[in-house]
Structure 1
Amino acid sequence: MDWKNIYRGLLMGITDLIPGVSGGTVAFILGIYDRLLAAISGFFSREWKKHIGFLIPLGIGIVAALVIFSRLIDYLLEHHLEPTQFFFMGLILGVVPFIFKEANAKQNFKASHIIALIIVGALLASLGFIKPDEAAEPITTLTFPNAIGLFFAGWLASMAMLLPGISGSFILLLLGVYTTAIRALKDFNIPLIIVIGAGVIIGFIVSSKAIRYLLSNFKYMTYAIIIGLIFGSFFVMFPGVPHGSSLYLSIATFIIGLAFSLWFSSDKMTKKKHK
């Protein structure tokens, strides 16, 4: 068992609670993105046994984060929105140099890659102007119609979680079920958690295979799109210019997030060079 994956799962789980932050981005920062895709895709194949040691500790960390930190994240977003958002903006921006190096963008990116990067980034950034309607009361009782809706919401959200730059939580916001999911975790509403979780698992399986195929057959275009998604998510998360003491705290949290991300990314690059 790769028990280090518990802390990696904790980090991914925490970020998946934040609208605008992608667990896939954190997987990139931690240097396990390719391994994650291979493990999820391969778990439902004849070679499933060799992936258990990677996925079980990661899953324990993610589930623990969702259960333990759902209340904390809910509190931070309600009472300290700007510093929290700026921390994750720094975290997101810091991974870009690593991906540029992974793709060797200076040599491999052509005009088509740059155009795709700009278009994807602009399209995702435009979602920042959408104000999801979360005024409705969260679902607390499961019925057949809302179970179908929650299942597919979990499916779509999990597909977004694996893509760096797209937040599964933001997809849930767009679909109007984010508060339902957070409330289910806070109140430990087992039926709702099972339905949404089933959609998440199916989405992981489908999207992991699709992303692996794209990285294998359209590597540099896929990297260009991923970079565009990351830039776009940066603008989606921007909460506006803070005022007063919140401005200084937001600058500090942004620098901390950026430094953390750059440190992890440079550490992964150094290890790769010495292999």
Structure 2
Amino acid sequence: MGAADLVPGVSGGSIALITGIYEKLLDSIKSIDGKALSLLKNLEIKAFWKHINGRFLLTLLAGILTSIFTLSKIISYLMEEHPIPLWSFFSGLIVISALIILRDIKRWNWGVILAIILGTVSAYLITGLPPIGSPDALWFVFVAGAIAICAMILPGISGSFLLLILGQYERVLQAVNQKDLITLGLFALGCIIGLLSFSRLISWLLKNFHAVTIGLLSGFMLGSINKLWPWKQVISYRLNSKGLQQPFITENVLPHHYLEVTGQESLILYAALAFSFGVFLVLGIERTAYYINRK
């Protein structure tokens, strides 16, 4: 999940779904409620830890942080120097993941099919949105935090990408660099409230409308391929927090037009190999998770 969240356009929620821990993650987050706060207030630490499934959350958080600190430089290098194989790898990962998740649907009906179509179209349109002008008021930082954190646990949609669309990506990065505690505090508060609220909604939907919700989540993943498409033409650039120029608005092109449009090789063979590696990696993870969960 940490490795996925490092890449704009890829969601850690997708990895949680692949490995079969998604519903457990939602239930654990949802358990941070009034009872948990009461236990913590009364210093019943052991009961509090058990109530929120602390061992699971701590292990997951440790894995995410370990991945972020160990893989951030590698992924940044690959995004800069080998973008086509990298995006192809993630495309393969997402496509096979969506298909695997659809196997959980036992009863197919028109509602499930419509949910898949709705999820696919929604994610496709969201990932194609241009950045918008946003209010400078501090309250919007809170709103952006709530929206972005929801996307981080929603398969197929990246929280960092939504921050970019909302026009708050650079503002949050600047707040981190300048140690602007007010802005960071409001952003963190928005993240906490958004996470606790949205996890309850998704958990309720999974328990009451499992097949339709799985179809919708799978659709989100399939529609996100619009953002992950390896062959892109850069329309405009932006300056990052270090003052370096980075692609800002891009447009997807077909592989056989890529050389003509950009002057660079399309690397179709490398893309196919990276896509296949993503597919086989997910199949391996899925098999491993299956045997672990059986034990």
How many angstroms apart in 1 are the aligned matches of 2:220 and 2:128?
Answer: 16
- Aligned residues of 1:127 and 1:236 also touching (Cα < 8 A): no
The residue aligned with 1:129 is 128
The residue aligned with 1:90 is 92
How many angstroms apart in 2 are the aligned matches of 1:68 and 1:201?
Answer: 26
Whether 1:156 and 2:176 are equivalent positions in the alignment is no
Moved more, 144-153 or 222-231: 144-153
Residue 216 of structure 1, CA deviation: 1.0
Moved more, 239-248 or 161-170: 239-248
Residue 112 of structure 1, CA deviation: 2.0
The residue aligned with 2:195 is 204
1:219 to 210, 215, 230: 210
Residue 176 of structure 1, CA deviation: 2.1
**1:188-224 Cα shifts (integer Å, max 9, x gaps):** 8463554433322222111111111111111111111
Distance 1:251 1:145, change over 3 A: same
Moved more, 227-236 or 71-80: 71-80
Moved more, 214-223 or 188-197: 188-197
Residue 30 of structure 1, CA deviation: 2.0
* Structure with higher RCO (Cα < 8 A, 6+ apart): 1
How many angstroms apart in 1 are the aligned matches of 2:138 and 2:69?
Answer: 21
Please list, as runs of the form range in 1=range in 2, the aligned pairs for 1:49-68 lying within 5 A after superposition.
49-50=49-50, 51-66=53-68
- Aligned residues of 1:43 and 1:49 also touching (Cα < 8 A): no
Residue 121 of structure 1, CA deviation: 0.6
- Aligned residues of 2:98 and 2:219 also touching (Cα < 8 A): no
Query: More helix per residue: 1 or 2?
Result: 1
Give TM-score scaled by structure 2 length: 0.73
How many angstroms apart in 1 are the aligned matches of 2:72 and 2:152?
Answer: 17
Please state whether the residue corresponding to 2:130 is helix, strand or coil: coil
How many angstroms apart in 1 are the aligned matches of 2:230 and 2:64?
Answer: 26
- Aligned residues of 2:91 and 2:278 also touching (Cα < 8 A): yes
Whether 1:268 and 2:289 are equivalent positions in the alignment is yes
- Aligned residues of 1:114 and 1:224 also touching (Cα < 8 A): yes
**1:41-63 Cα shifts (integer Å, max 9, x gaps):** 11235354211111123223334
Give TM-score scaled by structure 1 length: 0.78
Whether 1:26 and 2:10 are equivalent positions in the alignment is no
How many angstroms apart in 1 are the aligned matches of 2:77 and 2:109?
Answer: 45
Please state whether the residue corresponding to 2:104 is helix, strand or coil: helix
Residue 65 of structure 1, CA deviation: 4.3
Distance 1:118 1:92, change over 3 A: same
Residue 67 of structure 1, CA deviation: 5.3
- Aligned residues of 1:21 and 1:166 also touching (Cα < 8 A): yes
The residue aligned with 2:28 is 39
Decide which structure has the larger Cα Rg and report it. Answer: 2
The residue aligned with 1:140 is none
The residue aligned with 1:254 is 275
Please state whether the residue corresponding to 1:46 is helix, strand or coil: helix
Query: More strand per residue: 1 or 2?
Result: 2
Percent identical pairs in the alignment equals: 32
- Aligned residues of 1:128 and 1:235 also touching (Cα < 8 A): yes
Unaligned 5+ residue runs, structure 2? 37-47, 232-254, 259-263
- Aligned residues of 2:146 and 2:194 also touching (Cα < 8 A): yes
Distance 1:66 1:193, change over 3 A: farther
Moved more, 187-196 or 14-23: 187-196
State how many pairs are aligned. Answer: 251
How many angstroms apart in 2 are the aligned matches of 1:173 and 1:81?
Answer: 19
**1:80-124 Cα shifts (integer Å, max 9, x gaps):** 3222221211111121233122222xxx11012102211221222
